[in-house]
Chains A and B, each alone.
Chain A
Amino acid sequence: MTDTSGPLLAADGTPLKKRLAQAMFRSRARAFGLAFPLIAFIIVVFILPIIFLLWQGIYDARYSRLMPTSTAAMADWDAVSPPTEEMAAAMVADLVKARENKTIGQVATRVNRELSGTRSLFTKSARSAKKMEAPYMEALIKKDKDWADIEVWKAIKIASVKYNPGYVASALDLKYNADGSFERQDEDRRIHLMLFWRTIEISFLVTVFCLILGYPVAFLLSTLPTKTSNLLLILVLLPFWTSLLVRTTAWIAMLQAQGVMNDLFVVFGLATDEDRFSLIYNKTGTLIAMTHILLPFMILPLYSVMKTIPPSYTRAAKSMGATNWTAFWRVYFPQSVPGIGAGALLCFILAIGYYITPALVGGQDGQMISNIIDFHMRKSLNWNLAAALGLVLLVFVLFLFWIYDRVVGIDNMKLG
């Protein structure tokens, strides 16, 4: 090939690529038109809300929007030297405005999140801010001596940062300081990393249990005659016909101290009546119930891959002198790996964000990260922290995808 040879030309002299693009345009446009409603729907109800919510994990303009003057005044403060009169004046001006606009509650809540106990400080000071006169710092301290505490001003400084790394830091058990540095959270307040770790641990164990339980089932399904295997497949899918809540509560009936399993253990002498196993409201309960619920997601991709492995491979291996185990391990198993990859990834990713089951049967040590996200969404109303936790989880899952792609190869995965 030489550089002098120009592009291929169509019969009328236009470049072939251009002609082809023109010819393809109509069919492409039609295909896009057909897919457009769905694409729009997904963007509007799925992608945009996720982006907006996750955005809150790193962006919090509540303080800076409602208290613009003090935000500007504090921007250059080094958080070490004493608060200046200028900062106090800006604060008073903003407090007056916030009271007029009835937004002081929001401001107080925001600062209170950084330093608890500051809510009343703000609401109280705002009420009398209008009457305050210079020097403002003294006026503020006269109203409440807490204004003399530099920690209060540090908290305000943190709250005033718009692009705020504090939430992500706190999701990772770090503390974001007013001077822009990070330090580890106090020992008794480090819970998120532990929860992340436990979430990964539970997800990993559930995936492994699903694989151990699901592999033989999928193998059986793929080798049985179609009539029988279809019937069994319906049994595998049967749980999908009942509500997730029903299935989870069924486990409560099964596993609780006075439940079916423990009664059987007592009958068979594996446990005494006084000393029953605690199988639920702990990590064990979460593991058992989640394994049961996620099992079909392992079986189905495995089955669809195993279905495509012709029995002649194992037969060929055996005819060449391989024992059943060698034929399985060296010939059958490697070909089922794409199914294992797909099933494991599916189970793991579903498990990592699992919420209802751990909430119902997890007790204290069976809680996962999604439960704390839920807590911040509905109870503490700290949506920013919830979003930051979600963001960390998302980044972690994407990282796992990347690792998976490097190790196994994403196109080596078959979902059926």
Chain B
Amino acid sequence: MADSVSNDAFVEFERVQKSYDGETLVVKDLNLTLPKGEFLTMLGPSGSGKTTCLMMLAGFETATHGEIRLDGRPINNIPPHKRGIGMVFQNYALFPHMTIGENLSFPLEVRKMGKSDREAKIKRALDMVEMEAFVNRRPAQLSGGQQQRVALARALVFEPELVLMDEPLGALDKQLREKMQFEITHLAHSLGITTVYVTHDQTEALTMSDRVAVFNDGVIQQLAPPDELYEAPQNSFVAQFIGENNTLEGTVKEIKDGIALVQLDDGELIDCKPINVSKPGERTRVSIRPERVEFNKERLQEGAHTLKAEVLEFIYMGDIFRTRLRVAGNDEFIVKTRNAPDQVRLEPGTQIEIGWLPEDCRALDA
């Protein structure tokens, strides 16, 4: 999964920039390579440039600078209708004046496909999303989830090799969304299509993707498989944006044997893994996942630095316990523990000591 141009690259962005007003860049120097069959998610807050990237790939926006290649062919000057890319839109964009069958027939008709071929393909596509019974209905007669399935079938019916999805599950309720997440990934993998998926929902990104590109401020902050993204964020934006995260601010004291000694602002010392700090004296933001914080002394490593903490709040959430602590002046320090039979329930007001493995505590940019 090299970021450089490789031979198996199916979609490539090379030094792509985009500006709408000629003053600010919405996308700054984007380089991205997708192999065939990959499910890539572009994740980021609104205004981070992810949708713009998708629109440039689809052909609805033109890149101000740089080259976009599809299967080795530059597509900057190819109009959208000649790119052969399937697309699922945020509001589904099912044509309200056509039935489901006519909607699916549309991409085949513009390809001048014969009637019997069309019918066979429509049937197969609807079978795939289990919507064959609705072929004569109109989009307005379907529920959100059903419309979503039809939109998916319509994007796939002409058998594109690349499918783009622009927050396709945004309008669905939680349960349906989770079901569709599974179905979409399943379909994409079984059909072997390359998928670029845009979302601002990090859970969606983590559960569905082969790789996730985290966008912020027009730049890919990190491009990595979900587990790497969660466990090894490369900078404090990614650490903050993906999952829940505790941060403590401090200054690097020394870096030795791959371990950075950080002095927090209230004077306490902790051991961290240096990620993007390089020399003593640098300001740093230390990030620890709530589920990696340990307060059971027996489980702590010997000689590891510990911090004093005061329990502020205990929240019972069913499968987990969520405990809010005050640590080194931070009132929002969260610890998550599994609801196991032997699990301690911390009472508010108690003083405890917390610690963690140095590799779970990452010293990032300030």
Q: Which residues of A contact B (CB under 8 A)?
A: 310, 312-313, 315-324, 326-327, 330-331, 334-335
- The yes or no answer to B60 lying at the interface (CB within 8 A) is yes
Within 8 Å by CB of B93, from A313, A326, A330, lies A313
Does A318 contact B97, Cβ atoms closer than 8 Å? Answer: no
A95–B84 CA distance with the chains assembled, in angstroms: 93
The 25 listed contacts between A and B (C-beta, < 8 Å) are A310-B91, A312-B89, A312-B93, A313-B95, A315-B60, A315-B87, A316-B87, A316-B89, A316-B154, A318-B59, A318-B79, A319-B81, A320-B86, A321-B84, A321-B110, A322-B81, A322-B106, A326-B110, A327-B81, A330-B106, A331-B95, A334-B97, A335-B95, A335-B96, A335-B97
Least distance between A390 CB and chain B CB atoms (Å): 39
Least distance between B137 CB and chain A CB atoms (Å): 18
Does A322 contact B58, Cβ atoms closer than 8 Å? Answer: no
Within 8 Å by CB of B81, from A310, A321, A335, lies A321
| Further 20 A-B residue pairs, CB within 8 A, beyond A310-B91, A321-B81, A331-B95 | A312-B89, A312-B90, A313-B93, A313-B95, A315-B89, A315-B93, A316-B87, A316-B89, A316-B154, A318-B81, A319-B80, A319-B83, A319-B87, A320-B110, A321-B82, A321-B107, A321-B158, A327-B81, A330-B106, A335-B96
- The yes or no answer to B111 lying at the interface (CB within 8 A) is yes
Least distance between B82 CB and chain A CB atoms (Å): 8
Contacts of B261 in A (CB 8 A): none
A323–B93 CA distance with the chains assembled, in angstroms: 17
- Known A315-B87, A316-B87: A322·B110 in contact at CB below 8 Å: yes
Does A319 contact B58, Cβ atoms closer than 8 Å? Answer: yes
Contacts of B110 in A (CB 8 A): 320-323, 326
Does B106 contact A317, Cβ atoms closer than 8 Å? Answer: yes
- The yes or no answer to B286 lying at the interface (CB within 8 A) is no
Does B111 contact A321, Cβ atoms closer than 8 Å? Answer: yes
- The yes or no answer to B224 lying at the interface (CB within 8 A) is no
- The yes or no answer to B85 lying at the interface (CB within 8 A) is yes
Listed residue (A324, A327, A330) with the most chain B CB atoms within 10 angstroms of its CB: A330
- Known A310-B91, A312-B90, A312-B93: A319·B106 in contact at CB below 8 Å: no
Q: Which residues of B contact A (CB under 8 A)?
A: 58-60, 79-87, 89-91, 93, 95-97, 106-107, 110-111, 154-155, 158, 164
Contacts of A323 in B (CB 8 A): 81, 110
Contacts of A318 in B (CB 8 A): 59-60, 79-81
Number of A-B contacts (CB under 8 A): 68
Does A315 contact B95, Cβ atoms closer than 8 Å? Answer: no
Least distance between B210 CB and chain A CB atoms (Å): 23
Least distance between A309 CB and chain B CB atoms (Å): 10
Listed residue (B80, B111, B158) with the most chain A CB atoms within 10 angstroms of its CB: B80
Least distance between B132 CB and chain A CB atoms (Å): 20
Q: Which chain B residue has the least Cβ–Cβ distance from A311?
A: B60
Contacts of B83 in A (CB 8 A): 319
A313–B155 CA distance with the chains assembled, in angstroms: 13
Least distance between A296 CB and chain B CB atoms (Å): 27
Contacts of A319 in B (CB 8 A): 58-59, 80-81, 83, 85-87, 155, 164
Least distance between B22 CB and chain A CB atoms (Å): 15
Minimum-distance CB pairs A-B, first 8: A320-B107, A316-B93, A319-B87, A312-B93, A318-B80, A312-B89, A318-B81, A334-B97
Q: Which chain B residue has the least Cβ–Cβ distance from A332?
A: B95
Contacts of A312 in B (CB 8 A): 89-91, 93
Contacts of B86 in A (CB 8 A): 319-320
Does B106 contact A315, Cβ atoms closer than 8 Å? Answer: no
A334–B102 CA distance with the chains assembled, in angstroms: 14
A321–B157 CA distance with the chains assembled, in angstroms: 12
Q: Which chain B residue has the least Cβ–Cβ distance from A330?
A: B106
A327–B60 CA distance with the chains assembled, in angstroms: 14
A130–B91 CA distance with the chains assembled, in angstroms: 90
A319–B154 CA distance with the chains assembled, in angstroms: 11
Does A320 contact B89, Cβ atoms closer than 8 Å? Answer: no
A203–B110 CA distance with the chains assembled, in angstroms: 38
A318–B106 CA distance with the chains assembled, in angstroms: 11
Least distance between A224 CB and chain B CB atoms (Å): 14
Q: Which chain B residue has the least Cβ–Cβ distance from A335?
A: B97
Q: Which chain B residue has the least Cβ–Cβ distance from A309?
A: B96
Contacts of A326 in B (CB 8 A): 110
Does A320 contact B90, Cβ atoms closer than 8 Å? Answer: no
A126–B95 CA distance with the chains assembled, in angstroms: 79
Q: Which chain B residue has the least Cβ–Cβ distance from A337?
A: B97
Least distance between A360 CB and chain B CB atoms (Å): 43
Least distance between B102 CB and chain A CB atoms (Å): 10
Does B93 contact A320, Cβ atoms closer than 8 Å? Answer: no
A327–B82 CA distance with the chains assembled, in angstroms: 13
A43–B173 CA distance with the chains assembled, in angstroms: 51
A335–B97 CA distance with the chains assembled, in angstroms: 7
Q: Which chain A residue has the least Cβ–Cβ distance from B154?
A: A320
Contacts of A310 in B (CB 8 A): 91, 93
A323–B111 CA distance with the chains assembled, in angstroms: 11
Contacts of A317 in B (CB 8 A): 95, 106
A323–B83 CA distance with the chains assembled, in angstroms: 11
Q: Which chain A residue has the least Cβ–Cβ distance from B112?
A: A321
A320–B155 CA distance with the chains assembled, in angstroms: 7
Q: Which chain B residue has the least Cβ–Cβ distance from A310?
A: B91
A73–B77 CA distance with the chains assembled, in angstroms: 92
A319–B60 CA distance with the chains assembled, in angstroms: 9
Q: Which chain A residue has the least Cβ–Cβ distance from B94?
A: A316
Q: Which chain A residue has the least Cβ–Cβ distance from B80?
A: A318
Within 8 Å by CB of B58, from A315, A324, A330, lies A315
Contacts of B89 in A (CB 8 A): 312, 315-316
Q: Which chain A residue has the least Cβ–Cβ distance from B107?
A: A320
Contacts of A316 in B (CB 8 A): 87, 89, 93, 95, 154
Contacts of A320 in B (CB 8 A): 81, 86-87, 106-107, 110, 154-155, 158
